[in-house]
Amino acid sequence: MSDGYLQLRRIVFKGPKGDSNLDFLSGVNVVCGASDTGKSFLAESIDYMLGGSELREIPERAPYGEVELDLCVSTGERWRLRRATSGGNFTMVDLDQPDHAETVLKQVHAHDKTDNLSGFLLEKIGLLGKRVLKSSAKATTRSLSFRDLARLVIVQEGEIQQRGSPFWSGQFTTKTAELATVKLLLTGIDDSAVVPAIDAGPDSAKQIALIDELLADLASEIEDAGEDRDEVVAQLGRLEVSISGQRQSLDLAQRQLNELLAQRRKVLEERSSMQDRLSEIGELLARFDLLRDHYNVDIDRLKAIRESGSLFSHVEAIPCPVCGAKPEAQHIDATCEGDIDAIVFAANSEIEKIERFLRELEDTVSEINSEEVDLRGSIVERDAVYRDLDAAIQETVAPDLRGYQASFTELVEKRAGVQKLVEMFTRREKLEDRKRSLQDDGEGSVGEEPIKAGIPDSVAHALSSKVASILTAWNFPGECHVYFDKQSTDFVIDGKPRASRGKGLRAITHAAVNIALLEYCQERGLSHPGFVVLDSPLLAYFKPEGDDDLALKGTDLKERFYDYLVKHHGENSQILVIENQHPPRHFEERLVMNVFTGNPEDGRFGLL
């Protein structure tokens, strides 16, 4: 039994230029808003600060070098964990005694020790020193780590949609330990009393037992797929033919698009070249205007010289006003180098030359003006050609290409799924051959019976009832008859395996299982971390997948979901929901809500 439950209080990213923090309270916390604002990264960061191996590299993380996570325990203790964003060990501060020195907590789990983060957290929730079954065939156990619990309370977006059991990561090598962890939470009993089998050397019976486990897992997956091997192989062949034909259509459409893009680029380059020439013509015409003005000024000046010279040559000679010398006695030629007639003649010649230049200039301007008109007409033609090409690209070729790409991608994804089924059949045949070989060889004798693993029937029934009551309260479609299938280690709802439903129903039922596990443990005083983080549980309202999800979208499940959480989770527990969509408006005052707008001018942009 345990009275120690954890709750998140604050996460802070610290950097030299500032910090970014987000606070949490008891009860229901919702982080919602635009995509690509760090909502899923928040769930990853919480997992990282509870022992995750590494923090995903995103551009927004670069200015921060350290992460802090504040936790409180239902016993009243408050702690702060610090860790570098690059990984490594943790430091811990007791917030009730902040003057005390920081304590270093190792990243790596060590059994029954509290000098590591896992052991420290396990002690707070009453699970320190527990062991879980590792192999039922060999009757071996291993130490319980907090990481075994983390995946049950921090459910990432990719995990909440998975087809597998909410209790199993999908790795065969860890399945026994993961189910043993769930059993420990549901019963409070660990596997420390299990006595390992005596290793008497190679034993075919043990190998056969292990093969039987693998065959049982494969049989469950093959049964869920509901396909026959011959049909799957035939389907794979048909898919290969379809993919080949689709690839040819895709290549042809891509070539057409590339040709049109090249033509459009060429037209754009030609238009740009013409526009450059127009700019050059504009500059030339401006310069020619200045040159014309200069020629006209020169002509006016020369005409003035000519007229002055002409007037001077016709002025009557008179006695000198200074010395009184008569005209015939004056020595003008001796004292003045000017030859009026020569100057007038030169001015006339220069005027004729400049006027010739001016006529040539006007001819050049006329030619350039004609070129400008032609260029503007050519640009209009190029614009029309560009619009036609762009319309062909945007309205015909590009949509066709996207359609081919979507169909090709869909076929490839479908082929991958079919190939996986074929591989499952092949793997089953190899395991069966190996099992027959061991049986025929008669190696060894029948060993000990394997340890019975999994959740007890009575406990599984009680947990299934809890899941059913939650789904009923959420107005989940159907009668909500739920039972736990031991073979698939997953729940069957109204006679249909949970894993075979649409993505949206898998997400919401996964959330129901995690919340049921929390409530089951708290109602019975059993150990549990005490909080649940759900990333995108209401996926069906965002991206329906198939008829099941569409039926779910048509219900009031979203409102019932939040109403149930608000009523059932207050001061003694904590739920963090991460979603794109906002909760219904009338719930906003009954829960803690942080909105990431994705807009730097409006509210909070995102996590960082």
Task: Express each pLDDT in 82-137 by its tens digit.
Answer: 999 999 999 999 999 988 889 999 999 999 999 999 999 999 999 999 999 988 87
Q: How far apart (Å, rounded) are the C-alpha atoms in residues 604 and 608?
A: 9
**Per-residue exposure over 332-370, b if at least 16 CB sit within 10 Å of its own CB, e if not:** eeeeeeeeeeebbeebeebbeebeeebeeeeeebeebee
Q: Pick the more confident residue, 328 or 155.
A: 155
Task: Express each pLDDT in 239-257 by its tens digit.
Answer: 888 888 888 888 888 888 8
Cα-to-chain-centroid distance, residue 315? 98
Q: Which two tokens stand for residue 285?
A: 């015409």
Neighbouring-strand partners of residue 604: 596
Phi/psi at 410 (5° precision): -60, -40
Helix or strand (DSSP H, E) at 111: none
Q: Which domains, from first to last, does the chain contain? A: 6-197+449-596 (3.40.50.300), 205-316+357-447 (1.10.287)
- 283: how many CB neighbours lie within 10 A of its CB? 10
Do 256 and 404 form a contact (C-beta atoms < 8 A)?
Answer: no
What is the share, in percent, of the chain residues with pLDDT greater than 70? 89
- pLDDT score at 541: 54
Task: Express each pLDDT in 279-296 by its tens digit.
Answer: 999 999 999 999 999 989
Q: What is the band of 1 on the pLDDT scale with cuts at 50, 70, 90?
A: very low
Q: How far apart (Å, rounded) are the C-alpha atoms in residues 569 and 148?
A: 24
Do 102 and 118 form a contact (C-beta atoms < 8 A)?
Answer: no
3-state per-residue secondary structure call for 259-298? HHHHHHHHHHHHHHHHHHHHHHHHHHHHHHHHHHHHHHHH
Exposed/middle/buried for residue 585 (C-beta within 10 Å: 0-12, 13-18, 19+): exposed
Q: What is the band of 446 on the pLDDT scale with cuts at 50, 70, 90?
A: very low
Of 11-25, 313-327, 394-408, the range with the lowest mean pLDDT is 313-327
Q: Pick the more confident residue, 387 or 450.
A: 387
Do 548 and 505 form a contact (C-beta atoms < 8 A)?
Answer: yes
For residue 21, the SS3 value is strand
Q: Pick the more confident residue, 195 or 14.
A: 14
Nearest to 150 by CA among 187, 121, 114, 190: 121
Do 69 and 121 form a contact (C-beta atoms < 8 A)?
Answer: no
Q: Which two tokens stand for residue 458?
A: 């009575």
Q: Which two tokens stand for residue 12?
A: 């802070």
- pLDDT score at 337: 52
Q: What residues contact residue 207 under an 8 Å CB cut-off, 6+ apart?
A: 438
442 pLDDT above the threshold of 60: no
Task: Express each pLDDT in 194-237 by its tens digit.
Answer: 887 655 445 667 777 788 888 888 777 777 776 777 788 888 88
332 pLDDT above the threshold of 80: no
Q: How far apart (Å, rounded) are the C-alpha atoms in residues 385 and 443?
A: 81
Q: Can you say whether residue 13 is alpha, beta or left, with left for phi > 0 and alpha for psi between -120 and 50 degrees?
A: beta
Q: What residues contact residue 167 under an 8 Å CB cut-off, 6+ apart?
A: 152, 178, 179, 182, 489, 490, 513
Nearest to 572 by CA among 14, 15, 25: 25
443 pLDDT above the threshold of 60: no
Residue in this structure with the two tokens 């200015």, named with its chain if needed? 63
Provide mean pLDDT across the span 483-492. Answer: 92
- pLDDT score at 93: 95
